[in-house]
C-alpha cells in the first residue's frame, strides 16, 4: 500500500508540474504578444547600447536628412547628432539653463549670440541648417574629433561632454544617411491612428527635398543606393509619429508588426522606396 500511495503522489506531482509549466508557457506567450509591454525604442547597429526614444529618433532622422539634402558627409551628421544629444537630449526644448538662459531648441542656440530669433531657433529646420552653416566654415571638420568640431561650433563651457555620445551619433548617422543598410530598427506598438500620405510627402519634401508619389495608403520615392537607404531608414525612425506600418527597399522590408528588424522580401521594386501607412484601428 505504501508503494501504491507513493506512486499516486508522484503522479499527482507530475501532473501539477505539467499544469504549472503549461500555465507559465501560456503566460509568457501572452506577455510577448501584449502591446502594453512593448518598450518603444529605436536602435542602430554599433550604437553601443544607447537606444533612442521615438521622438529622439525622429529628430535624429531630420538632422541626418538635412545633411543628405545638403550633400554633406555622414561625419557632419555624426557631429550634429552628438551635439544635439548633449545640448537637448535630441528634443526641441523651449528653455535654456543657467549658463545660457536664452538657449532654445535642438542645439540650444542662443538668439543673443546671433543664431536667429527665438522662433527661428525653435524651428528644427532653421536650427539644423544654422548648425551646418557654422560647421562647414570650420576648416577640416571632417577629420577632427567630434568633440573638437562640435566645440568649434557651439563654444560650450563643457567641451569634453560631446565625446560620450560619439558611438550613438556615429551609428545613427551612418544608418540615417544610408551608409549602413538595415542599420536602424524601431520596436513599436500598433498605430492608434491612420497614417496620412500627404503628411509623409510633405515631410519627405521638407527633410530631403524629394518629390514622392502617393497611391492609397502607399507612398513611393524614386531613389537608389545610399540615398534609398537614407529615405527608408528615415521612414522607420518616423514610423511612430507618421503611423508608418511597412517600409521596403532594395529587396528588404521592415514591418512594424513583425518586430524582427529588416528581412528579405521578394517582389520589392528596385530603384524606389515603398512606404505603407497604417490603417485606422478597427472599432
Of the ranges 21-25, 73-77, 99-103, which is most confident?
A: 73-77
- For residue 155, what pLDDT band results from cuts at 50, 70 and 90? confident
Q: Are 280 and 194 in contact (CB under 8 A)?
A: yes
Report the pLDDT value the prediction gives residue 260, as an integer from 0 to 100: 86
Whose grid coordinates read 536664452? 102
DSSP character at residue 261:
-
pLDDT, tens only, 190-231: 999 999 999 999 999 999 999 999 999 999 999 999 999 999
Q: Which distant-in-sequence residues (6+ apart) come within 8 Å of 188 by Cβ?
A: 38, 40, 54, 239, 240, 256, 259
Beta carbons within 10 angstroms of residue 99's beta carbon = 11
Q: Is the pLDDT at 20 greater than 60, yes or no? A: no
Output b/e per residue, 109-136; b: 16+ Cβ within 10 A: bbbeeebbeeebbbbbebbbebbbebbe
DSSP character at residue 104:
B
- Strand residues in 120-172 grouped as ranges (E): none
Domain boundaries, the chain: 46-176, 190-277
Report the pLDDT value the prediction gives residue 258, as an integer from 0 to 100: 86
Q: Three-state SS for 247?
A: strand
Share of the chain above pLDDT 90, in %: 71
Whose grid coordinates read 550604437? 47
Q: Are 266 and 257 in contact (CB under 8 A)?
A: no
- For residue 50, what pLDDT band results from cuts at 50, 70 and 90? confident
CA dihedral (51, 52, 53, 58) in degrees, to 10, reads: -150
Report the pLDDT value the prediction gives residue 107, as an integer from 0 to 100: 96
Q: Three-state SS for 44?
A: strand
Residue 212: C-alpha distances to residues 49, 103, 254 (Å) = 34, 35, 19
Q: Hey, what's the cell of 123?
A: 524651428
Q: How far apart are CA 132 and CA 213, in angstroms?
A: 29
Mean pLDDT across the stretch 148-168? 87
Q: How far apart are CA 201 and CA 275, in angstroms?
A: 10
Phi, then psi, of 208 in degrees rounded to 5:
-105, -20
pTM of the entire predicted model: 0.85
Q: Is the dihedral of CA 38, 40, 44, 47 positive or negative?
A: negative
Mean pLDDT across the stretch 91-99? 81
Of 186 and 3, which is predicted with more confidence? 186
Helix, strand, coil percentages, rounded to 5, for the chain: 50, 15, 35
Q: How far apart are CA 75 and CA 67, in angstroms?
A: 9
Residue 215 exposed, middle or buried by CB count within 10 Å (0-12, 13-18, 19+): exposed
Q: How far apart are CA 269 and CA 271, in angstroms?
A: 7
Amino acid at each position: 500500500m505504501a508503494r501504491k500511495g507513493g506512486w499516486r503522489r508522484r503522479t499527482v506531482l507530475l501532473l501539477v508540474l505539467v499544469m504549472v509549466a503549461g500555465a507559465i508557457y501560456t503566460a509568457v506567450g501572452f506577455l510577448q504578444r501584449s502591446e502594453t509591454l512593448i518598450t518603444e525604442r529605436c536602435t542602430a547597429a554599433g550604437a553601443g547600447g544607447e537606444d533612442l526614444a521615438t521622438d529622439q529618433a525622429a529628430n535624429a532622422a531630420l538632422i541626418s536628412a538635412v545633411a543628405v539634402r545638403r550633400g554633406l558627409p555622414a561625419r557632419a551628421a555624426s557631429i550634429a547628432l552628438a551635439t544635439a544629444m548633449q545640448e537637448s537630449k535630441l528634443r526641441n526644448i523651449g528653455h535654456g539653463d543657467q549658463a545660457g538662459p536664452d538657449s532654445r531648441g535642438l542645439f540650444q542656440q542662443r538668439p543673443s549670440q546671433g543664431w536667429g530669433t527665438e522662433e527661428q531657433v525653435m524651428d528644427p529646420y532653421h536650427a539644423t541648417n544654422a548648425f551646418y552653416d557654422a560647421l562647414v566654415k570650420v576648416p577640416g571638420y571632417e577629420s577632427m574629433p567630434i568633440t573638437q568640431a562640435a566645440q568649434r561650433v557651439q563654444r560650450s563651457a563643457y567641451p569634453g561632454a560631446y565625446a560620450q555620445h560619439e558611438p550613438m551619433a556615429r551609428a545613427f548617422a551612418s544608418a540615417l544617411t544610408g551608409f549602413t543598410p538595415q542599420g536602424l530598427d524601431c520596436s513599436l506598438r500598433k498605430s492608434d491612428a491612420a497614417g496620412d500620405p500627404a503628411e509623409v510627402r510633405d515631410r519627405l519634401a521638407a527633410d530631403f527635398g524629394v518629390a514622392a508619389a502617393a497611391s492609397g495608403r502607399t507612398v513611393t520615392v524614386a531613389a537608389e543606393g545610399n540615398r534609398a537607404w537614407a529615405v527608408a531608414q528615415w521612414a522607420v525612425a518616423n514610423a511612430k509619429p507618421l503611423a508608418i506600418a511597412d517600409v521596403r527597399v532594395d529587396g528588404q522590408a521592415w514591418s512594424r508588426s513583425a518586430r524582427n528588424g529588416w528581412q528579405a522580401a521578394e517582389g520589392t521594386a528596385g530603384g524606389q522606396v515603398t512606404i505603407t501607412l497604417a490603417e485606422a484601428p478597427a472599432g
